Amino acid sequence: MSNNGADIFLVLLRPTRVPVVGEAASEGFQGQILVETLNWKLHNEDERKSASKAAAAFTLASGRADKQGSNELRAMHAASDDYQKRDKRLQESFAKAQRGGNFSEVDWKAHQDQRDALGAAFNKKLESIARDPNAFAPPDPQKAEKAATLQGEREKQYADLERNRNFEFTFTKRVDIASTQMLNSMKAGNIFPSGTLTIHRRSATFLDGTSLIFTIQKIRLLEYELDVVVNETMTEMMEKWTCEFGSLAYIYKNPPSHYSHSNTGQAVAKTASQNTTRAFTMKNIGSPI
């Protein structure tokens, strides 16, 4: 192991406060998860606004596609609704006359005749719709394919909108004893209350090394990919994880200077910044977790 590189270590604390056990063996990081690569992207808020508008457009287009070929069904529903409303008004009118005592056998027969005529008109309407040669015809394959495409795009757009990708990071690691523990947690939908991600720059001694430490709250594993890497000498199994989190804070301490500067300005700047600490906090106010 060279002294001029850096390592990435991850600690995931379960709800039981027991950490996921990894296979890291570096001094100071024994038992942590050794990460090969780390990727964290920040997106402009304007992108989310554009995505929201696109989703609304997909919703409108999909709704129009869904209505294509359903005119007959809507006509039948409209006729049924009209019949029920008219029949209800007839019954309410007759009930009102009964309560006032202003009805006779003639009135009762007239009421029944009106209801029978209304029912006959409704049945005739349904028969005329059913006799239409274009009624309930198989949908146009091209229209059906377009509707399915719109539906798929809309569902993907909704899924993207529900995720705030500024609060997601991706990392890769080799398959190790931590893999099964993490897969079980992902399957159960567990949320890790907290975790620590450390980027440690190696030096001649552990104490001289420099670390960028991320403290992360509310971590949930979202996606998992397994990749088998084959080369001439060996085969490796690499896995890719995508996580979301609720908040993040990091702290970084500049290392001490172990060398001299020929430039006075550089020497002053280095002396002023060495051993200083920088901190940052990021919270997802609308986090789903």
pLDDT tens for residues 132-175? Answer: 655 555 556 776 677 677 667 766 666 665 667 778 999 999 99
Rounded to whole angstroms, how far apart are CA atoms 22 and 176?
A: 7
Instruction: Considering only residues 57 and 282, tell me which one the structure prediction assigns the higher pLDDT.
Output: 282
Which CB contacts under 8 angstroms, 24+ apart, belong to 68-76? 68/139, 68/140, 68/143, 68/147, 69/137, 69/139, 69/140, 69/143, 72/129, 72/132, 72/134, 72/135, 72/136, 75/129, 76/126, 76/129
- 279 contact partners, CB below 8 Å, separation of at least 6: 249, 250, 251, 252
pLDDT score for 113: 77
Q: Which amino acid is at 183?
A: L
pTM of structure: 0.54
Instruction: Considering only residues 107 and 55, tell me which one the structure prediction assigns the higher pLDDT.
Output: 107
pLDDT score for 227: 92
Which superfamily does CATH assign the domain made up of 6-43+167-283 to? Answer: Hcp1-like (2.30.110.20)
Q: Where does CATH 2.30.110.20 sit in the chain?
A: 6-43+167-283
Mean pLDDT of 6-15: 93
The answer to whether 47 touches 161, Cβ cutoff 8 Å, is: no
Flag whether pLDDT at 270 surpasses 60: no
Rounded to whole angstroms, how far apart are CA atoms 172 and 39?
A: 9
**HSE-CB of 150 using CA atoms within 13 angstroms:** 18
